[in-house]
Amino acid sequence: MNKQTFSLQPFPCTESFAHLKITSNISRNANQITISYNLGGDLKEIAIAPKSNAPSRKHELWEDTCFEFFLGIKDSQRYWEFNLSPAGHWNVYRFDGYRQGMQEETAFEKLPFNIQNQGDGLALALNVDLDKIVSAKQKIEVAITTVINYRDGEITYWALTHKGAEADFHLRDSFIVEL
């Protein structure tokens, strides 16, 4: 097992978001990925959808507060985008190359994950078997990201690194975690 811990940074990195902290852990055991996010700080300004009684696959979750990760096969252009809403909704998209050929990934019929509202924070954890999309022998590269939507309409983009002039989670140079 290869467990790694990170702190996400807002884009642009020059603004101060000292009242928020987003950390993440990721590990791969065989072909099982475990990823967790912890959003801490003053959450009263953040628009967080209430937990749904019937979580389902939904589109455009990134328009609201959403935890995401991007997973690519090393030395391949193909990658996947995983979207996880604090409400429990989810989606997975497959791309053939940079923002090319976007399709809903039908290999996943459900993506159950745990969400805990902790008063001064929010925790999300997911275990997912990648056998349906990649071989356990293939090296993967991951970008860990989060979109934070504030009640006043402001949106901030958080990632391990920001390689572009604008916030762009799809840039393959940002897939810096190797598992």
Q: What is the dihedral of CA 63, 173, 6, 38, to 10 degrees?
A: 10
Beta strands 121-129 and 32-41 are: antiparallel
Q: Element (H or E) spanning 129, and its range?
A: strand 121-129
Parts of the chain with a pLDDT under 50: none
103-151 pLDDT, tens digit per residue, is: 999 999 999 899 998 878 999 999 999 999 999 999 999 999 999 999 9
Q: DSSP characters for 33-44? A: EEEEEEEEE-GG
Q: What is the dihedral of CA 176, 108, 124, 67, to 10 degrees?
A: 50
What local confidence, expressed as pLDDT, does residue 175 receive? 96
Residue pair 81/93 in contact by the 8 Å Cβ criterion: yes
Domain residue extents for the chain: 4-9+22-178
Which one is the CATH code of 4-9+22-178: 2.60.40.1190, 3.40.30.10, 2.30.40.10, 3.40.1350.10?
Answer: 2.60.40.1190
**Is the alpha carbon torsion for 35, 18, 164, 105 positive or negative?**
positive
